[in-house]
Amino acid sequence: MDMTSPKVMGVLNVTPDSFYDGGKFVEEGSILKQAERMLTEGADFLDVGGYSSRPHAIDITDKEELGRVIPVVKVLLKEFPSAIVSIDTFRSAIAKEAVDCGASIVNDISAGELDKAMVETVAALQVPYIAMHMQGTPQTMAQFTNYENLTKEITDYFHRKIFQLQSAGIKDIILDPGFGFAKTIDQNFELLNKLEHLRIFEKPLLVGLSRKSMIWRTLKTTPESALNGTTVLNTLALLKGASILRVHDVKEAKEIIQLMNNL
């Protein structure tokens, strides 16, 4: 895929408890309708997730996550065979099963920290790997927001992580700084303000700001009313070097990119 122009990843959460779209897409009909909508609007990837990673989310078993995502991956690629599907999981067994069923990318919120078999699994699968910065787990990450120098510590983390991944044989690495994961609202804005520093790695940067609490809490509104704020911050992210926007609203993200390209 040519990454000279930014791309859009459409979020397809097949969970009952995700912070914005939990419970909306659990039946096959609603899943396919949403996927078709996002693809029609120009999504370059569909990111399927069956484990809610919002703060304090309920931990579910591997079996339950597998039961949520694998049928979805299969039906998506049956109905939309040219779609590029990403599997959003930190569990190596689920990543392998999804790729075996046709998923093309592994998107891991823990960058291999929560499942030590993930790195070698992705290396063996030879698919692109999205490595995100997070501390702790979704259940505990709110306790791990103490940084002496946020940008430096995330940069150091990715230095170590890229070395580990490349040494294992993973060729295509995408970096996600992890907005909202083990970071306060102020830290999220600091991270966005200094996002261009992560371009030092010369890797695609994925930014997931869509309808997150740094927007709606700052504006004293709700996730449902945070589309305008999402558009503003996604625009800033592109100006600072983002390569992929991970969003719930594909049409609006594609419009940002079209306008930015005309600059």
Contact in structure between 127 and 106 (CB atoms under 8 Å): yes
Q: What are phi and psi of 49, to 5 degrees?
A: -130, 135
The token duo for 160 is 């170590």
Q: Which residues contact 11 (CB under 8 A, 6 or more apart)?
A: 21, 47, 49, 210, 246, 247, 248
Select which of 91, 96, 183, 212 is catalytic.
212
Dihedral (CA of 147, 128, 87, 225) sign = positive
CA atoms within 13 A on the CB side of 155: 15
Select which of 217, 246, 251, 254 is catalytic.
246
Q: Is 63 a catalytic residue?
A: no
The token duo for 120 is 């070698």
19: part of which helix (H) or strand (E)?
Answer: none
Contact in structure between 117 and 95 (CB atoms under 8 Å): no
Q: What are 147's strand-pairing partners?
A: none
The token duo for 173 is 């690495």
**What does the radius of gyration of the chain's CA atoms come to, in whole angstroms?**
17
Q: Is 211 a catalytic residue?
A: no
235-250 burial: b if 16+ Cβ within 10 Å, else e = bebbebebbbbbbbbb
End-to-end CA distance of the chain: 22
Contact in structure between 56 and 44 (CB atoms under 8 Å): no
| Active site residue ranges | 212, 246
